[in-house]
Chain A
Amino acid sequence: MALLKRVYDWIDLRIGAREIVKKELTGYLLPRNINEWYSLGSVLMVIFALQVLTGMLLMVYYVPDAEKAFRSVTFVMNELPYGWLIRLCHAVGSNMMVAVLILHMLSTLMMGSYKSPRELNWVSGFTLFALVQGISLTGYLLPWSQLSFWATTVATNSANAIPVVGPYLVEFLRGGKLVGPPTLGRFFAVHVAVLPVVIAAVIGAHLFLLKRTGISTPPFGSLETKKPWRPDSYSYQHHPGGIPFFPNYALQDLTSICVYFAIFLAVVFFLPNMLFTPDAFVPANAFKTPAHIKPEWYFLANYQTLKIFPSELLGLSIQAAAMTFLALLPFIDRSPERHPLKRPVFLACAIGGILLWIGLSVWGHFS
């Protein structure tokens, strides 16, 4: 203990560590009525870190070559000690990341935290959502199974509906007329080299914005006097008399992370095959389309939307419009009220939207 204190003193003398700790941890005050939902961001960062770590471990044995990819994944899953565990953590983790990200966004929506002055937080968060979907899609192809091959064929094909550039775009995405070895090369590069770096950078931006604007006060049982945000000059939103981030809220973050891990490990050990159909264990065959090819659960609503409209262009445009609407929500919904029960129109739209998304997903799953 004494030794640790001397090391800390030594560092403090040089870089002023105590000052940083005081400012960013113990002296970083959060609203008194902060709730559990605010810890999902920390959970997501842990999930992302774990994805990076398991991804690095998988890269030790994975071979990004159409001839060898499937074999190498089978080898990891069956021959290597604990290879199955690392692969399943990566595969389950990617699904969990999307699921927790959706929860994180829903809590932001319900508590109105996206509103002025936090438009940029919402936009950067929405960008992360799109990037995570992208990294999931590119990673899905890498095992080179029947499931990944044909799901990628269907997914890339939807770009065909874009007028003029559509067909070329599809070819560009695939690196050829059809999904094949060139697709694996580019998806691998995007999955392991491009998107992780971009996601890490946008997470950095997201946190920077959070720290500069200051954390929002939950709209429930607010004890703070409401000081409306005045857009004439920059001011950090302080929470005087609030609870310190460290140790109080850091312990909440840790609790949520532990609960998350319990759920995550339960899926990894007991329900891993929720994610895989038997086609996931058959090597890709470009000449044999299996029956019942469906995208991942979080793309089912998009998939069904494309199917129900008579023209693919219309389906795609509606999706693009919905996405743009969501991305620009803080610029459209400008009222300062944040309590969901005092925003009946918003609440009705939000619940309707969620039900529509669930309905489309279920329909897409059973169609």
Chain B
Amino acid sequence: MIRISAKLRASLFLASLGALLLAALAGPLTAGAAAPASAAATEQPETVCIQCHSALPDKLGAPVNLWRQSIHAENGISCNGCHGGDPKNADDAMNRSRGFLGAPKEADIPAFCGRCHPGVLKDYLASAHGRALGKGGPTCFTCHGNHQVLKASLDLINEKSCTRCHSFERAKTIRAAMQQTEGYIVGIDRRITGFQAIGVDTDRLGKGLFAVRNRFHTLFHDVDVARVRAESAQINTELAKLDRDLKVIEEARAKRKIAGGIAVAFMLLMAALVLLLKKTYD
């Protein structure tokens, strides 16, 4: 009877030791999972533009809500970022001497957007799309929309959009060539972010991916199939390098887990040996 209760007590002891330690530590685990990694988008004070226009009807009020859903709103680029003017003063909000530009004429649209996106402007102007500017060719708004500008993605190249002007065939080939690279970039980005959140120094990898992504994005405005294919191949080799670097980290971490498993098993073995030795003295 006494021996049984002693055994029971010993197992109770081990169980509580383990359970309490783990239970106590388990809290922050879920905290880490629940808390989004990025803080909320920077809140901008409401400008006078929004104050007036959100109350205006139709054409004058609609852009406010469209803008709110845009990537520009997400990144804190407000009306005056594109249209100019003084966002703090209602009297000067639309004063041309304060840099107010109003809405651009169709032919001026690429230059209008290109003030902040100079690289894209250059790529666009060099492409078949850009060369057709003012001769019925597409402007930025044709594909990206105006106020509700979304984060650029390959989805913008789609049959419905492209067939407004020409057949989808060539666009489809270009899109297919870029699809794999896009998936590659998204996958590597996710792995880098994952590592960053658990303390791996991903500074160099992040910068590498940023450069590759930028290079890839210049292709979006090129409509030359051969060039897109050639560039995509080069970008893929760059990405393969990043992929290899990530694999090295992943392998190192897998090795740590194996070493950890051995260490834990070894300590349990030691515990068993000491316990057996103790029993010889009971």
Q: Are A and B genuine complex partners?
A: yes
Chain A residues within CB distance 8 Å of chain B: 35-37, 74, 77-79, 84, 95-96, 98-100, 102-103, 221, 247-248, 251-252, 254-256, 258-263, 265-271, 273-281, 288-292, 294, 296-298, 300, 361-362, 365
Q: Which of B39, B198, B259, B277 has the most CB of A within 10 A?
A: B39
Residue interface bits B243-272, CB-to-A below 8 A is 1, else 0: 000000000000011011101100110110
- Set of chain A residues within 8 Å of B39, measured between Cβ atoms: 288-291
Contact between chains at B25 and A267 (CB < 8 Å):
yes
Quote the shortest CB–CB distance from B17 to chain A (angstroms). Answer: 7
Cβ contact within 8 Å between A292 and B197: no
B170 CB to closest chain A CB, in angstroms? 43
Chain A residues with Cβ below 8 Å from B32 are 273-274, 276-278
- Would you list 26 pairs from A and B whose C-beta atoms are within 8 A, ordered by A residue? A74-B199, A100-B21, A103-B17, A221-B2, A221-B5, A248-B281, A258-B267, A258-B271, A258-B274, A259-B14, A259-B267, A260-B17, A262-B271, A267-B25, A273-B32, A273-B198, A274-B29, A275-B25, A276-B198, A281-B196, A290-B39, A291-B35, A291-B36, A292-B31, A294-B31, A297-B25
Question: Chain B residue with minimal CB distance to A298?
Answer: B24
CA–CA, A291 to B38, complex, Å?
8
Given A260-B17, A265-B267, decide whether A252 and B35 contact each other with a Cβ distance below 8 A.
no
- Given A78-B200, A291-B39, A265 contacting B263 (CB threshold 8 A): yes
Interface pair A95/B278, CB less than 8 Å apart: no
Bound-state Cα–Cα, A297 to B24, Å: 7
Q: Tell me whether B13 and A262 are in contact (CB under 8 A).
A: no
Q: How far is the CB of B189 from chain A (nearest CB, A)?
A: 15
Tell whether A247 pairs with B17 under 8 Å between CB atoms, given A36-B9, A277-B32.
Answer: no
* Interface contact B200-A269, CB-CB below 8 Å: no
User: In the bound complex, do residue A262 and residue B26 qualify as a contact, i.e. CB atoms below 8 Å apart?
Assistant: no
Is B103 at the interface (CB under 8 A from chain A)?
no
Interface status of B10 (Cβ within 8 A of chain A): yes
Is B200 a contact partner of A273 (Cβ separation < 8 A)? no
When distances are taken between beta carbons in the complex, the residues of chain A under 8 Å from B21 are: 96, 99-100, 263, 267
Task: Tell me which residues across on chain A come within 8 A of B260, comparing CB atoms.
Answer: 265-266, 268-270
| Beta-carbon contact of B25 and A254 below 8 Å | no
Output the nearest chain A residue to B25 by Cβ-Cβ distance. A274
- From 1 to 49 in chain B, residues with beta carbon under 8 angstroms from any chain A beta carbon are 2, 5, 9-10, 13-14, 16-18, 20-22, 24-32, 34-37, 39-40
- In angstroms, Cα B36 to Cα A194, docked, is 37
B275 contacts A by Cβ under 8 Å: yes
Q: Give the total number of A-B pairs whose CB atoms are below 8 A apart.
A: 146
CA distance A60 to B281 in the complex (A): 44
Given A36-B9, A291-B36, A269 and B271 touching (CB < 8 A)? no
Contact B16 A297 (CB under 8 A): no
Would you give the shortest CB distance from A281 to chain B, in whole angstroms?
5
Name which residue of chain A comes closest to B195, CB basis.
Answer: A281
Contacts of A96 in B (CB 8 A): 21
Would B25 and A95 count as touching, CB distance under 8 A?
A: yes
- Residues of B within 8 Å of A280, CB to CB, are 199
Q: A260-B17, A275-B25, A362-B27 are in contact. List 9 more A-B contacts (CB 8 A).
A: A36-B13, A77-B201, A103-B17, A258-B271, A263-B17, A263-B22, A271-B29, A294-B31, A296-B28
| Chain B, Cβ-Cβ closest to A218 | B9
* Contact (Cβ within 8 A) A269 B198: no
On whether A102 and B40 interact (CB within 8 A), knowing A251-B278, A281-B198, A297-B27, the answer reads: no
Q: Which residues of B contact A265 (CB under 8 A)?
A: 260, 263-264, 267
Query: Chain A's nearest CB lies how many Å from the CB of B35?
Result: 4
